[in-house]
Amino acid sequence: MREIFNTAKHEAHDQDNTSILFFDECDRLFRKPGSNDCEVSSNITGIFQDCMDGVQQTMGDVVVLAATNHLELIPGEILSRFQNRIEVHLPDAQARIAITKLQIEKKTKDTLRSELKEADFDRLAEVTEGASGRDIKWLVKNTLKERVLSTKNHNGWWCKDEEDYYVPCYHSCTKKCKAEKFLYNQRPEAYKVRPPPLSYVHFKEAIDKYGVSPSQQD
């Protein structure tokens, strides 16, 4: 613990900047005295308090942040070392839309072909009501995974896209798009195959299979 704080101070001093220490799920480090406490956790709590007292004398060179979902478990002597307390609520509809777009961009970079429209994001905001940012991240990951798996498991009609890749064909009239029927694992070697553009249907399939949050799984 002391080494972490000392490193932050030295980095801030050497770089003429501010170091930020972030303790996520800090309730795992600091707990009120009880049946599960031990000498090690007690020492950590004491050392942290000393380090925080030292930080307050460094003129803002080191900023300490901590996050928890269980504020009731944090000892009062730890809470008193933090100047501000900010309650972060679950994201509203507009925030969920922004998080969904951000996660899609982070997961796919610039390679994703998408048919998602603003109306689709509005629908996603409705079905993800009450979801956290982590839930949405989990949903996007499952959606992209299922999109790839459904392509590999597609053993029906395929049609060519604008770049001559074969994608699963779901049109009612397969003659219109000159679709061909073949098995994914038995397709001609020269046939290039890839998933269709991302759509709301892929999200719906992932939600039906996995739910919006990991807590919804059996």
CATH number of the CATH domain containing 98? 1.10.8.60
Whole-angstrom distance, CA of residue 143 vs CA of residue 200? 10
Mean pLDDT within 147-171: 86
Within-domain flag for 84 = no
With 0.75 as the threshold, say if the pTM is over it: no
Considering the chain, what is the average pLDDT of its residues? 86
- Statement to judge: residues 37 and 101 lie in one domain: no
Question: Does the pLDDT of residue 218 top 80, yes or no?
Answer: no
Place of tokens 């029906």: 156
Residues 6+ apart with CB under 8 A from 103: 136, 137, 140, 141
The pLDDT tens digits for 101-140 are: 999 988 776 677 888 999 999 999 999 999 999 999 999 9
Mean pLDDT of 87-95: 94
Question: Over the Cα atoms of the chain, what is R_g?
Answer: 25
* pLDDT of 170 over the 80 cut: no
Q: What Cα–Cα distance (Å) separates residue 217 from each residue in 179, 208, 209?
A: 37, 11, 9
pLDDT at 44: 85
Task: Tell me which of 22, 45, 79 is where a domain ends.
Answer: 79
Does residue 216 have a pLDDT over 90? no
Across residues 65-85, what is the average pLDDT? 91
Percent of the chain with pLDDT over 70: 88
8-12, 85-89, 91-95, 189-193: range with highest mean pLDDT: 91-95
Same domain membership, residue 114 and residue 66: no
Domain tally, the chain = 2
8 Å CB contact between 96 and 131? yes
Residue 54 clears pLDDT 90, i.e. is over it:
no
**Is 160 a domain residue?**
yes
Q: Is the pLDDT of residue 35 over 50?
A: no
Same domain, yes or no, for 56 and 134? no
- Tell me how far apart the alpha carbons of residues 204 and 196 are, in angstroms, rounded to a whole number: 15
- The two tokens of residue 147 are 């999109």
Domain span at residue 136? Answer: 93-216
Confirm whether 88 is domain-assigned.
no
